[in-house]
Amino acid sequence: MNNLFRGLLAGYGAKKLGGGCFSTILVFVLLWVLLGQCGATYAPTEAEAARVESVSAAPTPPAAVPLTGVVPGGVALAAGD
């Protein structure tokens, strides 16, 4: 989370929830830490890493082959015509 946005939210919440000087600072710090946990990413556990490594890629189908040939009138066709 962006630190500016995080600070604004924590400040607004501290203003609304805090009663005095000390409690406002305490609420601000608490909200700052809690908002810092939003969107935090953690390293995968061993079980998750093993599960990701065991998954194999699905086979891909072969690429399309361009059509070429001769039509009944004897005219040759090429791809893109």
Break the chain into its structural domains and give their ranges: 1-36
Distances in whole angstroms, Cα of residue 11 to Cα of each of 21, 23, 24, 75: 13, 12, 9, 79
* Span 55-65, average pLDDT: 65
Q: What is the pLDDT of residues 1-44, one digit of tens each?
A: 688 899 999 999 999 998 899 999 999 999 999 998 877 777 76
Q: What burial letters (b/e) apply to 22-61, b meaning 16+ CB within 10 Å?
A: eebeebbeebbeebeeeeeeeeeeeeeeeeeeeeeeeeee
